[in-house]
Amino acid sequence: YAKHIQAAGEKSQAMLEQLLVFSRIQARELNSAPHEVAALVGAARLQLSEKIRACEAEVSVAGTGMVVGDAELLILTFRELIDNAMKFRKPDGKCKISVSARHKDSRFIACVADNGIGLADDLREKAFRMFWQRKPDGLAGGIGAGLAICRRVARRHGGDIRFVDHDDGCCLELDLPAPPMH
């Protein structure tokens, strides 16, 4: 019983910490500035470097561009998306994650695609709910807050995030305002 109580306490603590992150995103003042997406993804990769090495993930960046936003929150978003891709990798293959960026009209579009286990269409919107988990009891690791946090960051910046169709695995598309072209 003591182990169950300890595990429940640790999960509750983790949930509370993620709920604080989620709420602070809305309350904080945005430090918006133009940033090169490759630098933001590079910072996220650096924060996840031990985990990337441990699961032998291959993370590539294709296409670069400028995005306007709060660097700390955008790094958090890319970190959560890359981490999510590693959590839901196929157990029998090499984890490949690609981050691509482009401009479309006055928007910046970044896609984080993986070759993981994918997600059924009917579960895609549920995945953005706070603490929703596709696997019970956190078997994939985490507590089900990452995508909710990513959506909060995207919407705080005047954008959104959504699943888009992808041949193998998942692809999440982050849509944000692009910096004005001079």
The tens digit of pLDDT for each residue in 140-160 reads 567 778 899 999 999 999 999
Alpha-carbon distances of 21 from 52, 74, 135, 150, rounded to whole Å? 23, 13, 22, 11
When pLDDT is cut at 50, 70 and 90, the band that residue 180 belongs to is low
CA distance 159 to 32: 14
- Give 6-50 pLDDT, tens digit per residue: 877 777 777 788 777 777 787 788 888 888 889 999 999 999 999
CA angle 21, 52, 44 (to 5 degrees): 40
Q: Can you give the C-alpha Rg of the chain in angstroms?
A: 16
The arithmetic mean of pLDDT across residues 120-138, rounded, is 74
- 84 token code pair: 């999510």
- 98 token code pair: 């690609």
More confident residue, 82 or 165: 82
Per-residue burial over 22-58, b = 16 or more CB atoms within 10 Å of its CB, e = otherwise: beebeeeeeebeebebeebbebbbebbeeebeeeebe
